[in-house]
Structure formats: structure tokens, C-alpha cells
Chain A
Amino acid sequence: MQVTDDLGRTIEVPQPVRRIVSLAPNLTETVFALEAGDRVVGDTSADDFPAAAKSLPHVGDVLAPSLEEIVALHPDLVLATNDLNRRATVEALARMGFAVYVTHPQSIDDVLNSTAQIARLIGAGPRGDAVIAGMRERLDALAKRLSGVPPRRVLFVVWTEPLMSVGKHTFLADALSRAGAQSVVDIADGWPQVSFEYVLKLQPEYLVFAGSLRDANAPPEEQLSKLPGWRDLDAVRDGKIAVVSSAIDRPTPRMVDAIEELARLLHPEVFAPGAAAGGGAALIAPETSTEACLACAR
């Protein structure tokens, strides 16, 4: 089957795809969500969801995997992503004749498209259609619910030291806007490192963290009120800190859960009891999540 990936490369994928090597946590997760997890024969040491991904043979980390290990696994299809993997890895594998499909999601629509494309490549059939239809449906329902609600001005904190946030043309910026939020940082593409003064001047309404702060067990307000600079933010003084599931920074089907969760945290009034859909507040997921994004920003 011939397809064009997100980088515009045309690749020929032999059918059927029986053996998949995934070079990024979000892609492994996507294949598992498409119920083809049993066909993943190798992934990276960063892959932690679902739990089965942890026990698969690892081919190294996302930045410097062993090409030898990948070759030895005889993959029919290798999945890679532009934000985490190196272009050199992709090119070396392609030169040896492997089909490498590279995703580069810059919006939620891109996430939906690459998920649909992967589903088609691996022949996920009705399950693939159902997953994508489900994502679209829930996103549409959320959009309807939030229509007319003014977005919250938020600072999405990818990393605290140095302060790293989310820039334009990223799936995460789009995820924020679909959750009824607007990133105060709109100076650059990608994952900019921003000065704290800039943040103090902008005074975001909410701070959004993915997964957890440095110490998953202590309340976030308490941790931040001890940090110089941070304690001067109105959002910290007012306790307007949203800690959302780490799934928010992974372009996968599970990301929709995180978008809904963030929408509830930022707009509790819209989801108050009595309003239509259930408004269960999301819990803090005690897991580290930002390594992946830190790696891509470095």
C-alpha cells in the first residue's frame, strides 16, 4: 500500500502488516488503541502506556535507538514521529528498505488524520473507524458545550526549570483551545523556553501542568508558593492551578480524555451538576510525563 506521511515522504508499506516497531510512546499507544498491540514487536525505553508496552523488547531510547535491534526485529512497518525521533534514524532505516511512516501532528486534526492513516496501514478495520469516529464525536460534543464560553488565558507549563511552554502550530496549542483555553505564550513555534518576566507581565488566569509537578504527593499550590517568582503569580495566589492527565501531551486517542478533563477543570461552571454530561473532576495522575516533551524541546 502506498501512502504519504506527514513529512510528505511517499512510502510503500507491504500488506498485511504483521510486525510493527514503534519509535515513540504516543505511536505505540495509538497502535494499542487500535487493538493491534499484539503486532508491536519493539518499542523504546520511553514507552510506558499501556502497561504491556513496558515489557516489549526495547530498541533503545527515542533519540538514539539501535538500528541493529530494529533490523533484527524484521518490522513490516516502523512508526516514528518528527518531534521525538531524529531525521537521521528515519533516513538510515528507509535506505535499508524499511517502510518508515513519520507523523508530525501540528493540530488535533493532524492527530486524527495520522491515527486514521495508521489504522488504514495496519488494516485495523472497523475498530479503527470506531476509534476515530469516537474521537471526533467527543470533540464535537465538547466544542458544542464550550461554544460561547470565553477561553481561559492559561500558561501551559511543559517544564518549570527552565520554564518551557507551548508555542504556535503544535497539537498541544490546539488541544488547549479545544479545552476552552488560550495559551498566553504565542511568541514562537514548537516548545519555546520563555522568560519568567514575560509570564509575570502576562499574568495567566490558570497554570496548567501535565501529569504532576515535581513532587506528585504535595499539593501544587504549596509547592509553587515556595518558589520565587511563581508565588507572585495571581494564578498561584488564587490557587488556579490545573493538573491534567499527562495524556494531554501525547498525540493519541487518549488525548481526547485529557482535553475533556482540562475543560472540566478550567470551566467547572459549564460542567456543574445539573448540566447535561457528567462532571466528575479529574484527579491528579501521579506519573511523570514531561520527559517526552522535554526531550523534544531540547
Chain B
Amino acid sequence: MRPLTLRRVLWTCALLAGVLFAVCVAALKLGAVPISVSDLIVSLARVAIGRSDQLPLDYRLIVFDLRLPRIVLGALVGAALSVAGAGYQALLRNPLADPYVLGVSSGSALGAVLALQFAPQIAFATPLGAFVGAILTITGVYYLGRREGQLDSTTLLLAGIISASFLSAIIMFLMTTLASRDLRGMAFWLMGDLSTPLAPNLRWFFLVALVVGIGAIYTTSADLNLLVTGEREAMHLGVDVTRVKLVVYVAASGLTALAVSASGAIGYVGLLVPHAMRFLFGSDYRLLIPASALGGAIAVVLADTLARTIIAPTELPVGAMTAIAGAPLFIFLLRRSMR
């Protein structure tokens, strides 16, 4: 593999950003209500020159109130989950780590459900509850995944998968017993779905927290390159292992919590995307982190566009789409790692 240069990082990111832009434009065009490309361009141009009042109301609502916020949310959620997945994979030295497989998504969902139940008036309670749930879950899974003081790859995965199913069962239990239940909401937390727009007062918080989380993991990327060879080796090479682990665990769990509080537990994105990026661009974390952020955005926007259109006007949850693509890849990687 050629040495990583800043030039290559920038070119790769520019390429992925271009693909993301094209996917977003396609996602803006496609939907239950057909909109032609020329109408779309005219609408976008009118908005760009501040003449949105000249648009037909339909277009304004469908393109700018429904599709665009959903595409942006999908991109942000995809970026968060992919970077979280890449972070967990480096830290746990396990190619199969992913917020969903490790149970962190389910822990976040449970935290969010509890927060919604006990503090429905406080907008920030949901992401905060999701964050607490994520941190507790990853801590628990980390300790359950050890054998004789060492992190064991298979035990860790089993601990994650069992925790995910246990936590999902608690969510189901709560949803069926709580008096003020919204049973239709259950699938949302368990499966992941982008049809609910982000509350307007949370938008800026979400964006800032996402940038901080991805940025924090990016600052450790040189250390992560060394950490994947082993903690002791990294320590000998001068890496402050404790600090890096703390930063990445907190940031990855925070990113998962953000994604889950906005869209429920969308699975396998954190597995699928970093692997695709490694395959395409190599495994240097200084490129892998930004590439995963952009690739995750592309993947989720694409998956959600499919979810919105294949049986339109009815919509599928996006989590169903990502699981269809992600679960076979998980099996493939598992078999390869056992060989």
C-alpha cells in the first residue's frame, strides 16, 4: 500500500463527498410523489436565490420539509454509526465490532425509551438517556467479553449479541406494560427508522455533538493505527493507551447514542461501511475515519431511499434494509476470521 499523504486523504474525501452529493440529489428526486429533475433543479435554484415563496406549496413541503431533512438526518446518522463502528473495531481489535452487534444500540434505545417515559417534556433527556445507556452497555459488554483478564474476540461478540437481545426484550417488556405506551413506536426503537424528523430544537445540538464525536476519534487515528497491533506494543511505542481508549469509548458511545436517539437502532452500518472503506482505501485510520463518515452517510441515505421507494407509498424501516445487506457480510467476515 502506498504511504498515506495528505493529498491522498483529501482526494479520497473529495471523491466520496462527490458521490454523497450525487446520492443526495437522487434521493431528493426519488420518492412516492414523482418530481422531475428539471423541476427539482428549478426548485433548488429558487431556494438558492431566496425565492422559495415562488415555489408551489407541494414542492416546498415535499422537497424541503420532508425529503431534505430526512436525507440530512440519514447522512448524519450514517456518519455517526460508521465512525463509531470503526472506533470500536480498532479498540476491541475485532473486525466484527459494530454498535448494533455489541448491543450498544439496544442499550441506547433502552436509555432513550426510559428517558421518554420519565422526562417526556425535556428534549435533551432522550439523547442523554441514550448516551448513559450506551456507556453502561459497552462497559458491561467489555467486562463480559474478557477471559482470564484478556479480551476474547468470540466471547466479546457473544456478550454483545446476548446483551442486544436482552436489552431489546426489556424494551418490549416496557412497551407492553407502560400505560402511556405507543406500541407503534416499538418497531422504531428496535428496527431503526428515519421517518420521524429530528425535533427542531435538537438540530444544532445534534450537528455539533456529531462533529465533536467524529473529531475526537479522528485525533486518535494515528494512535489507533498502532493500537490495532496490541495494547502493550502500542504502549511501548509511546501511545497513551488509557487516554486513547477513554476518548474512543466515550466518543463512539456518544455517536451511537446520537444516532439511536434520532432514528432507533439501525443495524450493521458500523460494520458494513468501515469494511467497505478498508477494502477500497486501505486500513490507515487517518483515512479510514473520514472515509467511514462519508461512506456511512452515503450508505444510509441510499438504504433509506430504497426503503422509501420500493413498496411506495408504504415505507419500510431503514433498519430492515441495512440488516439485509449487513447480516450476510457479518457471517462472511465471521467465517473468514475463524479460518
Which residues from chain B contact A63 at a C-beta distance below 8 Å?
Answer: 184, 187
Write the nearest CB–CB distance from B57 to chain A, whole angstroms.
8
A44-78: which residues lie under 8 A (CB-CB) from chain B? Answer: 45, 58-61, 63-69, 71-72, 74
Write the nearest CB–CB distance from A14 to chain B, whole angstroms.
14
Which residues from chain A contact B32 at a C-beta distance below 8 Å?
Answer: 60, 66, 68-69
- Answer yes or no: B66 CB below 8 A from chain A CBs: yes
> In the complex, A298 Cα to B187 Cα: how many Å?
9
- Answer yes or no: B140 CB below 8 A from chain A CBs: no
- Answer yes or no: A146 CB below 8 A from chain B CBs: no
A102-161: which residues lie under 8 A (CB-CB) from chain B? Answer: none
Q: Is B184 a contact partner of A85 (Cβ separation < 8 A)? A: yes
Which residues from chain A contact B196 at a C-beta distance below 8 Å?
Answer: 88, 92
Which residues from chain B contact A296 at a C-beta distance below 8 Å?
Answer: 183
Interface string of A265-298 (1 = CB under 8 A from B): 0000000000000000000000000000000111
Checking B58, B66, B183 against A297 with a beta-carbon cut-off of 8 angstroms, the contacting residue is B183
A-B contacts counted at CB < 8 A amount to: 74
Q: Is B197 a contact partner of A86 (Cβ separation < 8 A)? A: no
Q: Is A60 a contact partner of B179 (Cβ separation < 8 A)? A: no
B31-75: which residues lie under 8 A (CB-CB) from chain A? Answer: 31-33, 58, 61-62, 65-67
- Answer yes or no: A96 CB below 8 A from chain B CBs: yes
- Answer yes or no: A87 CB below 8 A from chain B CBs: yes
Contacts A74-B58, A86-B182, A87-B185; A66 near B314 (Cβ below 8 A): yes
Q: Is A71 a contact partner of B66 (Cβ separation < 8 A)? A: yes
Q: Is A68 a contact partner of B62 (Cβ separation < 8 A)? A: yes
Contacts A69-B32, A189-B179; A61 near B58 (Cβ below 8 A): no
Contacts A64-B314, A66-B32, A88-B195; A71 near B183 (Cβ below 8 A): no
> In the complex, A298 Cα to B31 Cα: how many Å?
28
In the complex formed, the residue of B with least CB distance to A62 is B184
Write the nearest CB–CB distance from B219 to chain A, whole angstroms.
36
Q: Is B58 a contact partner of A71 (Cβ separation < 8 A)? A: yes
Which residues from chain A contact B315 at a C-beta distance below 8 Å?
Answer: 60, 64-66
Interface string of B231-265 (1 = CB under 8 A from A): 00000000000000000000000000000000000
- Answer yes or no: B313 CB below 8 A from chain A CBs: yes
Checking A61, A72, A88 against B185 with a beta-carbon cut-off of 8 angstroms, the contacting residue is A88
Q: Is A65 a contact partner of B197 (Cβ separation < 8 A)? A: no
Which residues from chain A contact B185 at a C-beta distance below 8 Å?
Answer: 86-88
- Answer yes or no: B119 CB below 8 A from chain A CBs: no
Most central of A64, A68, A88 by chain B CB within 10 Å: A68
Known pairs A86-B182, A88-B185, A298-B183. 5 more at Cβ < 8 A? A64-B195, A64-B315, A67-B66, A71-B58, A88-B188
